[in-house]
Amino acid sequence: MAADTPLWSPSEARIAEAPLTEFTRAAERASGQSFASYRDLHAWSVAEREAFWDLVWDFCGITGDKGETVLADGDRMPGAHFFPDARLNFAENLLKKSGSSNAIVFRGEDQVERRLSWDELHARVSQLQQLFVKLGVRQGDRIAAMMPNMPETVAAMLAATSIGAVWSSCSPDFGEQGVLDRFGQIEPVVFIVPDGYWYAGKAIEVADKVAAVVSKLKSLRKVLVVDYLGTAEDVAATIEGAEALEMALQPFAAKAVTFERLPFAHPLYILFSSGTTGIPKCIVHSAGGTLIQHVKELRLHAGLVEGDRFFYFTTCGWMMWNWLVSGLSCGATLLLYDGSPFHPSGNVLFDFADAEKMTYFGTSAKFIDSVRKAGLKPITTHDLSTVRTISSTGSPLSPEGFRFVYEGIKQDIHLASISGGTDIVSCFVLGVPTEPVWEGEIQGPGLGLAVDVWDDDGQPVRQEKGELVCARAFPAMPIGFWNDPDGKKYHGAYFERFDNVWCHGDFAEWTEHGGMIIHGRSDATLNPGGVRIGTAEIYNQVEQMPEILEAICIGQDFDDDVRVVLFVRLASGVVLDEALEKKIKAKIRTGASPRHVPARIVAVTDIPRTKSGKITELAVRDVVHGRAVKNKEALANPEALDLFRDRPELRS
């Protein structure tokens, strides 16, 4: 395919139907301007932030009292205040719909399937709300969940936030210390857990882990055990202060849910950094900032409308879960899946999409690459006619991954590669449904966000690599970090590099089409000979090779410089011999540049990754350099680190 030809362009009919098109017309009326392109609309949304966010509130139908002021101290970052007079409730905005149609469809790896109508979801939220009130939960109290991605988790979050409690969650595969590193910092009063979960064909019990965690969380008033494996009552009987959820809810008849309207900046969620470089940071997000950013992204960028069937493959320990559940605000049905996406085969999610007439299919770049390497072709085996958008995040999607979506999954589809993070519980750059999709490129910056790429001197650069920044305040900035009263940790995380400007820590580049390429985390950027290189550029080359299943790349301090070291996990039966090394180096040299060619290539049998599936370059770099990895509990497979320790290939 020619480089000057997009992989996909939206039809005129699709453009006309997109909520973004309707919003553009509303923005033109509000501003008295004409926007010939998305770039024009984006420029206005950044230049006129007050008018833009005011219009988002109205257009997306946010329920609450908006107040008179849209933005106060808008030139301060941190320190800006959006909608300082507003009063709203997050859960109220997600539970506007009622009726007998599906609000949630859940499918577990064990093939259990459950459906909750909107009325049934309201009823379950009502019961949980009454239980929390009886337990003495008040505004600002923390409710923590170590839960699978299942309907009870969504309902409990809505009940917690309906009364102004603060929600925090992780997935049940976290180890004891990983849970304590997170929830031990925020002192929850209620802890919600399952009796177990399914993964890769196995029922995994968690009773011993829960008991150990509970014994050290001294702030707890109640532990609620959700039935998944059929043993909730038995598990609850072994844990002090625990009760099976269904038993705890029995005294409460469903009634209308009440919603406590609170300030825009009231805390909603506590999310956690990955923790691979130390104890996880507790990032506090506001109810109003999260809500208005999510409805903007879901309605305008994802194009969700009432009745859509919205899916994202995620655990409750990844910010994509928080993004997914906000789909309720659009009147969309949430399609929840819990378990391995490759059990019994890589078709399981496509089976779900086919059966449930999915309209938005969200997943990770790693999943797309794994499907491609498994030789699967859903385009020929599944009916994906209803799927309008495929979204990819978690790590940069390679050009090969872009091509595979159109060749192997569906031809007429909006491929939305998105990037942002836990830090903002949303996206900086993401899909634009009215624009073409170019190979390897994220389509554009989010509306209302002054996203840019700066060099080391703080100067904007075009078609040149630099730091991803946001130069003006935006609503989804965190309130701050938990237990950081003077804001020193919060300021140091994002505002130390460039004064009064958010520096995100991604190594990025604008393209000639106005899109963006993320080259990886800037703190994992390679610097051989003083030249900055993004690891994603190397992965894009080697992961096209059938001999290589996956790779991880680091910079090793060596001989007063940094040399590039590439670790590869090879396909079955493949051996890393001299011929394959030459082939890998030639592929990188021609596809990236001579500077990207690794000085050493080393075969390993596994690659460490976080619970959310991201490879951990920094942890590998620490092991190679003989440094302690500060938080192995953040890793899904910490034992893999041993494969990188004291490698003889790296001594000379």
Amino acid at 386: T
Structural domains of the chain in order of their starting residue, each with its CATH number:
12-66+286-519 (3.40.50.12780), 102-260 (3.40.50.980), 525-650 (3.30.300.30)
Least confident of 270-274, 318-322, 441-445, 589-593: 589-593
Could you tell me which of 344, 372, 259, 274 has the C-alpha nearest to residue 315? 274
Segment 545-554 shows an average pLDDT of: 94
Mean pLDDT of the chain: 94
Confidence of residue 2 (pLDDT cuts 50, 70, 90): very low
Give the DSSP letter string of 413-433.
-EEEE-EEETTTTEEEEE--T
Please, which contacts does 404-409 make with residues 24 or more away whose CB atoms are closer than 8 Å?
Answer: 404/368, 404/369, 404/371, 404/372, 405/368, 406/7, 406/8, 407/379, 408/371, 408/372, 408/376, 408/377, 408/378, 408/379, 409/371, 409/378, 409/379, 409/384
Tell me what pLDDT residue 634 has: 82
Confidence of residue 1 (pLDDT cuts 50, 70, 90): very low
Identify the DSSP state of 396: P
Calculate the alpha carbon distances from 103 to 72, 121, 308, 532, 605 in Å.
Answer: 37, 7, 10, 47, 42
Tell me what pLDDT residue 278 has: 65
pLDDT for residue 485 is more than 70: yes
pLDDT for residue 537 is more than 90: no
Least confident of 379-383, 518-522, 625-629: 518-522
pLDDT for residue 273 is more than 90: no
Least confident of 176-180, 288-292, 570-574: 176-180
Cα separation, 150 vs 143, in Å, equals 17
Token pair, residue 602, equals: 């080393």
pLDDT for residue 521 is more than 90: no
Identify the DSSP state of 87: E
Query: Three-state SS string across 167-229, please?
Result: EEEECCCCCHHHHHHHHHHHCCCEEEEECEEEECCEEEECHHHHHHHHCCCCCCCEEEEECCC
Segment 13-36 shows an average pLDDT of: 98
Tell me what pLDDT residue 394 has: 85
Segment 174-201 shows an average pLDDT of: 94
In contact, 162 and 91? CB cutoff 8 Å: yes
pLDDT for residue 630 is more than 80: no
Tell me what pLDDT residue 276 has: 54
Could you tell me which of 286, 305, 309 has the C-alpha nearest to residue 295? 305
Asked if the bond preceding 344 is cis, omega within 30° of 0, the reply is yes
**Residue 367: half-sphere exposure toward Cβ, Cα within 13 Å:** 25
Token pair, residue 524, equals: 């994992």
Token pair, residue 385, equals: 């006619």
In contact, 248 and 230? CB cutoff 8 Å: no
Tell me what pLDDT residue 557 has: 86
Segment 608-637 shows an average pLDDT of: 87
* 225-234, 271-280, 541-550: range with highest mean pLDDT: 225-234
Q: What are phi and psi of 508, to 5 degrees?
A: -135, 170
In contact, 458 and 263? CB cutoff 8 Å: no
Asked if the bond preceding 78 is cis, omega within 30° of 0, the reply is yes
Least confident of 37-51, 146-160, 215-229, 514-528: 514-528
What is the signed CA dihedral for 368, 371, 376, 379, rounded to 10 degrees?
A: -20
pLDDT for residue 492 is more than 50: yes
Confidence of residue 594 (pLDDT cuts 50, 70, 90): confident
In contact, 565 and 524? CB cutoff 8 Å: no
In contact, 415 and 284? CB cutoff 8 Å: no
Sign of the dihedral defined by the CA atoms of residues 525, 531, 534, 539, in that order: negative
Strands, E, within 254-341: which ranges?
262-263, 267-272, 282-286, 309-312, 333-338
Confidence of residue 530 (pLDDT cuts 50, 70, 90): low
In contact, 287 and 88? CB cutoff 8 Å: yes
> CA 311, 119, 150: angle at the middle one, nearest 5?
40
Summarised one tens digit per residue, pLDDT across range 243-266 is: 999 999 999 999 999 999 999 999
* 528-532, 568-572, 618-622: range with highest mean pLDDT: 568-572
Confidence of residue 163 (pLDDT cuts 50, 70, 90): very high
In contact, 405 and 368? CB cutoff 8 Å: yes
Helix (H, G, I), strand (E, B) or coil at 75: coil
Segment 520-531 shows an average pLDDT of: 74
Cα separation, 179 vs 606, in Å, equals 24
Could you tell me which of 592, 516, 508 has the C-alpha nearest to residue 551? 592
Summarised one tens digit per residue, pLDDT across range 328-366 is: 999 999 999 999 999 999 999 999 999 999 999 999 988
**Hey, which residues does 451 pair with through a beta bridge?**
470
**Hey, which residues does 427 pair with through a beta bridge?**
420
Token pair, residue 42, equals: 């984006």
Residues 6+ apart with CB under 8 A from 126: 159, 252, 254, 255, 256, 257
Tell me what pLDDT residue 632 has: 83
Tell me what pLDDT residue 119 has: 98
Summarised one tens digit per residue, pLDDT across range 197-226 is: 999 999 999 999 999 999 999 999 999 999
The H or E element spanning position 535 is helix 535-542
Cα separation, 257 vs 458, in Å, equals 50
